[in-house]
């Protein structure tokens, strides 16, 4: 055996030899044996072995040069067993001068590896997952050089792709090798938008397929890579400048993208991979797999998040290399979209008729994607850890957003059960549809107005179908969030006019822009804030930038064209803020009249109650407000000092708890004393059990997502409001953190359909 270090450096000639060996005739195992023999000679190693992972999780010895050939397909290591298991677990190379002394070493006598000390093992990575391990060994104790590690990683990457493509082994021999996840998995997440769906997985911005792996012209590939990186950096600069169609992303995320896209280490890793003989695309895939396997194992959550940012960058870079910096939005029928997270514009660009479900690694029930999913009635489960690495394009997938779970590659019995549940839900929807024209009266005669939350053009098309008695909350900011530029006066007036026309004689309440916080627009310059949820947002932004708010109010007045106008302001924290905002409405009405334009036939100006400060100033607020609407989403997060968009704390409180319900009861009672119309327009209003509690508290107007109207109406029709009110009063004195179970018991006792 030659002395270590005498082999010709670089993997290019070795890869050509491997391709030549595979192109020959003869049994597959003989070709595989030739591959490990070629690697051993080139790497000046006395042993070279290939292990592949079986679907059971075991690692099987598939080929060896230097160990006992009788161990091939006989030696199997359990998941995590031995040094091979350690490499699989970490997804990183292992370079040892004395392998037997390592605590993870596992001796297998049938292999005859007793005399070998030096060991270098690297994972066969594909899509960030280790599908096998490539190992070289020598008798003498030594640490392999960095060049050896680099070369073996490149060889392992190419071998992984050859295995996956069936070039290295026949399909029959690969039938139990887990190249991609194949086992049925049940993953727990969080329910974002109710519903059930069964379909096929579609990866949001699915990676561009890498065809050619090896290059004969490193300079040309380096030039292609440099041009693509420059294009990517320019695109990200455009995002920050507000000239891109990528919307809804926060400034912090885009700033992180910019930092990573200009990262010297990322660029250097890509360039080094190209220099080693890979194409630019293969270099991206190699660096992607290293980051997935490396950073993904980090305990630091910040570092784990960075691998997701790098995923997005790698996908974008591959599209630039392919000559397409844009996004493909084509979908198969019954598509289940898989993503790390989404902005509202991302979801709206997909074909609604084919998009049946949504699964997210991140997000919260209050995120943009979740809000839009509920508006479009798309079942959505979020906060599913590791989702992207455990699902492949085209996998059958179940979205169970009734309980917040997903099934990847489900068994036939699970599919059958879920299909039956989907049928039952369809029958329930048909039952709700029959109630569409039935007025919502409780059994003891109380009329409950059921209104619809809206904000998208598609909402207008289904208004009549829902049986809603009007639009209790029209979120005007959605038009801004899905636009590349600031919507001008005519565009705003046109949308508001279409909303009024679609509603006809039904009332519509327009909420002025609720921007800021997590709704940062690229084209609106705003300073970065440490705590944006408590920062410069909503009515504060409108009062500080009066031109923006005045243009919106002017567009609203023009759109109603002499019809009634109901407008309310979000996140009012002081009575003075409401006075200033109301005065601005009055000035815009006067401005229209001076120019001979019609004023609203009736003008109602109200505010949302979201800031807890108003709870102790209702005596001053209600006499000057024409109506109020309780925004329970924000009110609860501020009341409990728990960010509803932060998964670590969003479940630290329950709106069905004594503090929350007492606050709501105080608002209802104050409005009753002053005869001020009040509604509830938060997420609570659209869930039957929570809506039951609201009705019991005395609220007579609830505004909710379209999908909630049928179930809530069914609850109202089954409810004896007087009995519910008496029962709930007895529960409000509880010292428990949540009385949800008690309210559920009360509903059962009263035979409530909740």
Catalytic residue numbers, as ranges = 368, 681
Give whole-number Cα distances, 720 to 150, 235, 695, 723, in Å: 74, 59, 10, 6
| Residue 456 β-bridge partners | none
Helix and strand totals (H; E) in the chain: 26, 22
The set of residues, in sequence order, having a beta carbon less than 8 Å from that of 386 and lying 6+ positions away, is 187, 361
Q: How far apart are CA 239 and CA 251, in angstroms?
A: 9
Half-sphere exposure of 89 (CA within 13 A, CB side): 12
**Alpha carbon distances (Å) from 613 to 311, 359, 409, 530, 582:** 43, 37, 50, 21, 19
Beta-strand runs (E) in 155-310: 185-188, 190-193, 196-203
Nearest to 726 by CA among 754, 691, 750: 750
Q: Would you say how long the chain is, in residues?
A: 754
Please, which residues bridge with residue 190 across strands?
382
Strands 603-609 and 627-630, by their bridges, are parallel
Closest C-alpha among 90, 132, 84, 122 to residue 105: 84
Give the separation between CA 55 and CA 175, rounded to whole angstroms.
9
What is the torsion angle, in degrees rounded to the nearest 10, for the CA atoms of residue 351, residue 352, residue 358 and residue 364?
110
479: three-class secondary structure by DSSP: helix
Chain centre distance of CA 87: 30
Closest alpha carbon to 687 in 615, 738, 743, 731? 743
Cα–Cα distance between 156 and 138 in angstroms, integer?
19
Beta carbons of 380 and 360 less than 8 angstroms apart: yes
545 touches 480 (CB < 8 A): no
Phi, psi of 292 (to 5 degrees): -60, -50
Which residues make Cβ contacts (< 8 Å) with residue 77, sequence separation at least 6? 51, 58, 59, 84, 85, 106, 108
In eight-state DSSP terms, residue 599 is P
CA torsion sign, 515 to 520 to 521 to 527? positive
For the chain, the first-to-last Cα distance in angstroms comes to 78
Measured CA to CA, the distance from residue 635 to residue 663 in angstroms comes to 10
Distance from chain centroid for Cα 375: 16
Name the nearest CA neighbour of 311 among 260, 237, 364.
260
Main-chain phi, psi angles of 521, to 5 degrees:
-100, 140
Are residues 329 and 351 in contact, defined by beta-carbon separation less than 8 angstroms? yes
Distance CA 288, CA 293 (A): 9
C-beta separation of 358 from 162 below 8 A: no
- In sequence order, the 6+-apart residues with CB closer than 8 A to the CB of 674 are 622, 623
Alpha helices in 322-411 (DSSP H): 344-348, 368-375
């Amino acid at each position: 055996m030659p002395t270590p270090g005498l082999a010709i450096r670089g993997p290019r000639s070795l890869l050509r030899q491997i391709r030549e060996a595979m192109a020959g005739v003869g049994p597959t195992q003989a070709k595989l044996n030739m591959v490990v023999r070629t690697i051993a000679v080139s790497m000046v190693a006395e042993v070279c072995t290939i292990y592949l992972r079986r679907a059971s999780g075991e690692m099987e010895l598939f080929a060896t040069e230097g160990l006992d050939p009788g161990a091939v397909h006989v030696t199997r290591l359990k998941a995590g067993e031995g040094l091979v298991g350690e490499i699989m677990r970490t997804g990183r190379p292992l370079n040892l001068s004395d392998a037997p002394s390592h605590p993870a070493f596992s001796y297998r006598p049938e292999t005859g590896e007793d005399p070998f000390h030096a060991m270098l093992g690297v994972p066969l990575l594909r899509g960030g997952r280790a599908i096998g391990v490539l190992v070289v060994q020598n008798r003498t104790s030594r640490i392999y050089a960095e060049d050896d590690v680099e070369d073996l990683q490149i060889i392992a990457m190419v071998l992984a792709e050859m295995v996956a493509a069936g070039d290295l082994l026949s399909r029959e021999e690969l039938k139990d090798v887990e190249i991609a996840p194949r086992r049925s998995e049940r993953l727990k997440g969080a329910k974002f938008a109710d519903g059930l769906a069964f379909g096929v997985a579609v990866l949001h911005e699915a990676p561009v397929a890498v065809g050619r792996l090896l290059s004969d012209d490193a300079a040309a590939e380096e030039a292609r890579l440099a041009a693509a990186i420059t294009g990517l950096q320019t695109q990200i600069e455009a995002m920050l400048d507000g000239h891109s169609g990528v919307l809804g992303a926060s400034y912090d995320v885009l700033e992180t993208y910019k930092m990573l896209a200009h990262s010297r280490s990322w660029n250097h890793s890509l360039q080094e991979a190209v220099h080693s003989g890979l194409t630019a695309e293969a270099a991206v895939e190699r660096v992607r797999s290293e980051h997935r396997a490396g950073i993904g194992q980090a305990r630091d959550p910040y570092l784990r998040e960075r691998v997701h940012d790098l995923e997005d960058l790698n996908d974008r870079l591959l599209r630039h290399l392919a000559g397409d910096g844009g996004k493909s939005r084509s979908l198969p029928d019954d598509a289940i979209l898989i993503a790390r997270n989404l902005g509202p514009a991302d979801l709206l660009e997909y074909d609604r008729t084919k998009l049946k479900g949504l699964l997210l690694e991140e997000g919260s029930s209050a995120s943009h994607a979740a809000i839009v999913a509920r508006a479009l009635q798309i079942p959505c489960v979020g906060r599913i850890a590791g989702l992207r690495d455990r699902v492949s394009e085209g996998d059958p997938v179940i979205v169970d957003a009734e309980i917040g779970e997903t099934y990847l590659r489900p068994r036939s019995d699970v599919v059958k059960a879920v299909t039956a549940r989907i049928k039952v839900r369809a029958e329930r929807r048909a039952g709700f549809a029959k109630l569409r024209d039935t007025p919502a009266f409780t059994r003891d005669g109380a009329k409950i107005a059921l209104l619809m939350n809206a904000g998208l053009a598609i909402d207008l098309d289904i208004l009549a179908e829902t049986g809603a008695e009007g639009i209790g909350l029209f979120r005007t900011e959605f038009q801004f969030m899905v636009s590349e530029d600031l919507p001008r006066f005519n565009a705003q007036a046109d949308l508001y006019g279409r909303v009024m026309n679609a509603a006809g004689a039904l009332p519509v309440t327009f909420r002025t822009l609720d921007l800021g916080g997590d709704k940062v627009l690229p084209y609106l310059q705003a300073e970065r804030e440490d705590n944006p949820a408590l920062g410069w947002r909503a009515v504060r932004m409108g009062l500080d930038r009066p031109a923006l708010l005045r243009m919106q109010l002017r567009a609203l007045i023009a759109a109603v064209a002499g019809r009634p106008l109901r407008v309310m302001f979000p996140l009012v924290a002081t009575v003075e803020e409401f006075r200033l905002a109301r005065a601005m409405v009055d000035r815009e009405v006067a401005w229209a009249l001076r120019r001979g334009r019609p004023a609203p036939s009736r003008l109602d100006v109200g505010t949302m109650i979201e800031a807890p400060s108003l709870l102790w100033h209702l005596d001053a607020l209600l006499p000057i407000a024409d109506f109020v609407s309780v925004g329970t989403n924000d009110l609860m997060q501020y009341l409990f000092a728990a960010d509803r968009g932060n998964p670590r704390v969003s479940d630290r409180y329950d709106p069905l708890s004594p503090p929350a319900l007492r606050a709501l009861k105080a608002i209802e009672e104050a409005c009753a004393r002053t005869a001020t119309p009040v509604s509830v327009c938060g997420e609570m209003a659209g869930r039957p059990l929570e809506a039951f509690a609201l009705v019991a508290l005395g609220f007579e107007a609830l505004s909710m997502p379209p999908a909630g109207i049928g179930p809530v109406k069914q609850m109202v029709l089954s409810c004896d409001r007087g009995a519910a009110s008496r029962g709930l009063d007895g529960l409000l004195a509880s010292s428990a953190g949540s009385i949800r179970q008690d309210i559920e018991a009360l509903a059962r006792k009263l035979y409530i359909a909740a």
